[in-house]
Homo-oligomer: A and B are copies of this chain.
Amino acid sequence: MKIVTRDKIVYSFSSQHKPAEHVAPKEKILLEMADAFGSQVSDKQTSIERLDWSKVNGATGPIFVNDTAPGDTLAVHIKQIRLPRRGIIAVIPNQGVLKGRTFKSAVKAVSIRDEQVHFEDDVKLKAKPMIGTIGVAPPKGKIPTGTLGRHGGNMDVKEMGVGATLYLPVFVEGALFAAGDLHAVQADGEVCVSAAEVLGEVLLSFDIVKGKSASWPVLETRESLAFLTCADSLDEASVLAVEAAVEALMREHNWNFEKAYMFASLAVDVKINQVVDPKKGVRAVVPKEFLTVESALGG
C-alpha cells in the first residue's frame, strides 16, 4: 500500500503542482494529514495570534490518479480514518457566525478516546471523523486549499467520513487529488470557524467514471446522494444545490421540471455545510431510493 506522508503538503489545488504519488484505480493509498493549523497550536504554548497563516489549511498530496482525464469523474472512496488522542478547537475574533460580537481568541484541547470527543469532563460527543478539505486541481490557476468550489476544496461536509464516496469532476490529467483538514467531529455550520481539528491518517481508493462530469461534487452515503454547492451566501448556494438536485431527478424519472421541483419540496433536504468561509456551502440531499449515481452525475 502506498503512503503519502504529511510533509507532502500543498496549500492550493493547482495543475502546476508536481504529484506526490501516483496510484492506479482501485489501489489503496494512505494519506497522513497534519491538522488544519499545521500542528502549530496547542492550548499550552502557541497563541493563536502568532500563527503562521502560510502553514494553515494544508492538504496532503497531490495524488496523480492513473488513466484519469478531463471530463471524467473521480470517485473517492473513504475507507478508514484513524484519529489521534487529542484535538484542538479555536475561536478567533472577527471569525465565525458570531463575528459581530466582541470576544477573545481562545484555544481548547479535547481528548479523544472510546470513539468519544471529551469537551469537558462531563460533556462528551460521539466522534464522527470527517475530511474538511478534499478536492482536485481546477482547469487552470490555483485555488487556495482554505476555500471551496466545483473542484471540491474546503467543503466541511460532516458526512465526508468512512463509507462515503465523493464524486469530483476531473479537470486535468491525473486529477491531482489532495485532502486535509481532518475533524474528529463537526456540526452543520462549523459556526465558530474551527471544528475538533486533528491530524490523522486516511485510507482511500479511487475509481474513475469515464466521460461523465457532474457540475458540482456529489457525495454518496449509505442513505443519500448530496449535491455540494457554494456561493457568496447560503441563499445563493441553495439555488445552485436545488437546481442540481431537480435536474438529476428530471433525468432519473423522465419528469418535467415542474414535477421534479414539486417532488424536491417533499423529499430533498437543503442543508448547511458551513456558513463561516467567504464562500458558504450548502448540500441538497436526495434519498437514494429516488436517485441513482448515474443520474446524479449527469446526462
Contact = CB atoms under 8 A, between A and B. Distances in A.
Interface of A: 89-91, 96-98, 100-101, 103-104, 106, 108, 117, 119-120, 123, 125, 185-196, 233-235, 238-239, 242-243, 246, 253, 257-259, 261-272, 275, 280, 290
A49 to B, nearest CB: 14
Contacts of A104: 258
**Interface residues of A, dominant DSSP:** mixed
Contact of A119 (B101, B120, B195, B263): B263
A98 B246 contact: yes
A263 to B, nearest CB: 6
A153 to B, nearest CB: 19
Given A103-B257, A103-B258, A257-B101, A196 B266 contact: yes
Contacts of A257: 101, 103
A185 to B, nearest CB: 5
Q: Please tell me how many copies of the chain the complex holds.
A: 2
Nearest to A257: B103
Contact of A191 (B91, B125, B242, B272): B242
A275 B270 contact: yes
A247 to B, nearest CB: 10
A238 B196 contact: no
Nearest to A128: B266
Across the A-B interface, give the 6 residue pairs with the lowest CB-CB distance, nearest first: A189-B270, A234-B234, A192-B265, A188-B269, A106-B258, A97-B242
25 contacts: A89-B266, A91-B262, A97-B238, A98-B242, A104-B258, A106-B258, A106-B259, A108-B262, A117-B266, A119-B266, A125-B266, A187-B269, A187-B270, A188-B269, A188-B270, A188-B271, A189-B238, A191-B268, A193-B265, A194-B262, A194-B265, A233-B234, A234-B234, A235-B275, A272-B272
Q: Which of A97, A246, A257 has the most CB of B within 10 A?
A: A97
Contacts of A108: 259, 262
A234 B234 CA distance: 6
Contacts of A266: 89, 117, 119, 125, 185-187, 195-196
A259 B272 CA distance: 22
Contacts of A268: 187, 189, 191
B239 A98 contact: yes
Contact of A261 (B91, B262, B271, B290): B91
Contacts of A267: 125, 185, 187
